[in-house]
Amino acid sequence: MLPTSSFAAELTWPVYHAAVRDGTTPILIPIGSMEQHGHHMPLHVDVLLPTEFARRAAKEIGALVAPPFTYGYKSHQKSGGGNHLPGTTSLDGATLVAALRDVIKEFARHGVRKICLVNGHFENSWFIIEAIDLALRELRWGRIDDVKIVVLSYWDFVDKDTIAKLYDGNFPGWDLEHGGVLETSLMLALYPDLVSLSDAIDVEPAEFPPYDVYPVKPEWTPPSGTLSSPKEASVGKGQILLDVCSKGIVSALRTEFG
């Protein structure tokens, strides 16, 4: 027999089937993007981080992690630098909604009744909610009305005290934390071989006018691609963030899934 795994796709079908058919085992679906993250990190940061948070939570609560969504909705200039930047490879909103709706319905068909979307890319947020709404509506038409879905973004579990401790009064806001201290510290703690801090470019937090223009004005995005500086990132900060977010996610899932 193959060894057991928290990753659903690493199981044989009989092992998977036994785990999910009675609806008790939650499925956690990481959802990210392929998006530039400055000169010091690779394009799949938004996939790696939620996948690892999902894996940690799955081990704690006895859940399974689904294969992640590796493409996401288009990068917005004020939260990801913009979709015009090289490397950033995105789905149309309708495509993302349709694919996610299909996957949710498939897991429900297998018997899964507890699903969590673990988001790692801010721009996915409303499309995830739309996919959940459509999937639950179609499942109800099929007389399946006992599916519960939790949706979360890992950074929302960083509390005020942790922000005060890590940023020393210089917290730029989550929208500008693209390729900055949060993601870089987490990557340093988890995947140090994928970070080159010596290539990180020190930038002032980006400033945008209170409106958007399309086509985007590329000059609004700092040339480095990050919206704040990663220079103050560290392994230690990454470990604190890992701990705080993991605990928060586990607690939320215990509350909602029992």
Stretch that binds Zn ion, among 38-46, 111-119, 165-173, 209-217 (CB under 5 A): 38-46
Q: Is 232 a catalytic residue?
A: no
Selected binder of Zn ion within 26, 38, 40, 46 (CB under 5 A): 46
Instruction: List the catalytic residue out of 40, 46, 52, 177.
Output: 46
Do strands 64-65 and 27-31 pair parallel, antiparallel, or not at all (unpaired)? Answer: parallel
Token pair belonging to 84: 């015009």
Active site residue 46: yes
By CB under 5 A, tell whether 80 contacts Mn ion: yes
The reply to whether 202 belongs to the active site is: no
Q: Using CB distances below 5 to 8 A depending on partner kind, what does residue 222 bind out of Zn ion, Mn ion, none?
A: none
CB 74 within 8 A of CB 123: yes
Catalytic residue flag (residue 219): no
Residue 42, CA distances (Å) to 52, 77, 139, 161, 217 in order:
16, 18, 38, 30, 24
Q: Is 46 in the site for Mn ion (CB under 5 A)?
A: yes
Q: How many residues bind Zn ion (CB under 5 A)?
A: 2
CA 23 and chain centroid, separation: 24
Residues 190, 191, 197, 199: is their CA dihedral positive or negative?
A: negative
To the query of whether residue 123 is one of the catalytic residues in this protein, the response is yes
CA distance 184 to 241: 11
Q: Which residues are catalytic?
A: 35, 37, 46, 121, 123, 178, 183
Which residues lie near Mn ion (CB under 5 A)? 33, 35, 46, 80, 121
Which residues lie near Zn ion (CB under 5 A)? 45-46
